[in-house]
Amino acid sequence: MQTAHSLEESSNIVTTIDCNGRSDAQIKLSIQRATENRAPLMKLIGLDLDRIERPTPSHWIDNCATPNDARFEQLSNMLGNVFGYSDLQNGRLVQEVFPIRGDARKQVGSGAIKLELHTEDPILEYRADYLGFMCVSNRDRIPTTVAVPDFALLSETTRLTLCDTKFTIFSDRPTPTPFKPAKLVTSVLLRAPGGRLRMIYDPVYIDYAAMDAGQSAAFRELQELIDSAMTEFLLKEGDVGFVDNYQVAHGRPQYVPRYDGTDRWLKRTQISSNLVRFSAIAVGENVLP
Ligand SMILES: O=C(O)CCC(=O)C(=O)O
Ligand SMILES: [Fe+2]
């Protein structure tokens, strides 16, 4: 019999959970232990998923369902509650991430240019606490880029500026939606219990013009810290990854899609630790505006 210890293999920032031969109760326990320990990144390997032979679709509007989607949603629900957005892929709870021809030059998951490190949905108060990713295919071994900055390395002045002054971040949605804010005025670093810091980070959509000199210098120092902490988080076929959206900035390197059914294909979930808090604004079951 394996000990609980052999179940999880931790690198500095990635907690690997080998699910081979494990019950759902055991997997859930390992996930919950990792979240309690504030693991920034988790990787589930050895899952008993179906092999997917179908080609990578060309657009999310098509039927993209795979036999593993329900299992991925179930695993994601072990961290909180999976939810969708009304303006994202028709409110689907399991979303598609693969290159779409018309998006190649856009700063989006379906693009092909370098996707800058960011946290997801910076302007939404109800943004995901965790993102889930399941790899359907990735023959080119294209990683997700990730950075888990150690905020203790920031100067005191920078930390205070990022915590105690307000920055403006614009919406990252390609088309404005009347029912959503167009921007958020917020601090970039948030104080959490126990003195921990969390971040809302998007260097592409933050309003540089609205910063004073001190804020510009502070944001630059944070960006340098995040860039210097960047590393790769590679998901292979059948792996599931979870990303803490307040501790980890994520992105993707530039690459050259073929658009012939062989491109990298990830599934994605948005996971909330406290969905009940936003039930009043829900527009459908587990769907937020
Ligand atoms: O393609 C990736 O690895 C990440 C894309 C991304 O930023 C996202 O899906 O939120
Ligand atoms: Fe993202």
Does the ipTM surpass 0.90? yes
The Å distance, Cα 134 to ligand 2 centre, comes to 14
Is the distance from the beta carbon of residue 250 to the nearest atom of ligand 1 less than 6 Å? yes
Helices (H), the chain: 4-7, 24-36, 69-76, 156-164, 213-228
Q: How far is CA 103 from CA 100, 185, 198, in A?
A: 5, 28, 31
Sign of CA dihedral 174, 228, 129, 52: positive
By the 10 Å C-beta count (0-12 exposed, 13-18 middle, 19+ buried), 23 is classed as exposed
Helix (H, G, I), strand (E, B) or coil at 17: strand
Reported as type and span, the H/E element at residue 83 is strand 81-85
Q: How many residues does the chain have?
A: 289
78 φ/ψ angles, rounded to the nearest 5 degrees: -75, -15
Bridge partner residues of 115 (DSSP): 252
Helix (H, G, I), strand (E, B) or coil at 72: helix
The Å distance, Cα 247 to ligand 1 centre, comes to 16
Is the distance from the beta carbon of residue 115 to the nearest atom of ligand 1 less than 6 Å? yes
CB 151 within 8 A of CB 197: yes
Ligand 1 binding pocket mutation candidate from 97, 98, 131, 271 (most atoms within 8 A of CB) = 97
Atom from ligand 1 closest to the CA of residue 120: 10
Would you write out the chain's pLDDT as a tens digit for each of its 289 residues?
344 444 566 678 999 999 999 999 999 999 999 999 999 999 999 999 999 999 999 999 999 999 999 999 999 999 999 999 999 999 999 999 999 999 999 999 999 999 999 999 999 999 999 999 999 999 999 999 999 999 999 999 999 999 999 999 999 877 777 778 899 999 999 999 999 999 999 999 999 999 999 999 999 999 999 999 999 999 999 999 999 999 999 999 999 999 999 999 999 999 999 999 999 999 999 999 9
Distance of CA 238 to the CA centre of its chain: 18
Ligand 1 binding pocket mutation candidate from 121, 252, 265, 269 (most atoms within 8 A of CB) = 252
The residue to which tokens 């394996």 are assigned: 2
The Å distance, Cα 5 to ligand 2 centre, comes to 32
CA atoms within 13 A of residue 247's CA, in its CB half-sphere: 17
Domains along the chain with CATH numbers: 4-148+231-288 (3.60.130.10), 149-228 (no CATH)
Instruction: Give the rounded percent of residues in the chain with a pLDDT score beyond 70.
Output: 97
Tens of pLDDT, residue by residue over 226-274, are 999 999 999 999 999 999 999 999 999 999 999 999 999 999 999 999 9
147 φ/ψ angles, rounded to the nearest 5 degrees: -145, 130
Q: How far is CA 196 from CA 26, 82, 111, 153, 199, in A?
A: 28, 25, 34, 13, 10
Is the distance from the beta carbon of residue 264 to the nearest atom of ligand 1 less than 6 Å? no
CB 103 within 8 A of CB 110: yes
31 φ/ψ angles, rounded to the nearest 5 degrees: -65, -45
Helices (H), 44-196: 69-76, 156-164
What tokens appear for 16 in the block? Answer: 């690997």
- Interacting residues of 7 by C-beta distance below 8 A, sequence separation 6+: 17, 18, 22, 26, 30
What torsion do the CA atoms of 49, 54, 57, 63 make, to the nearest 10 degrees? Answer: -80
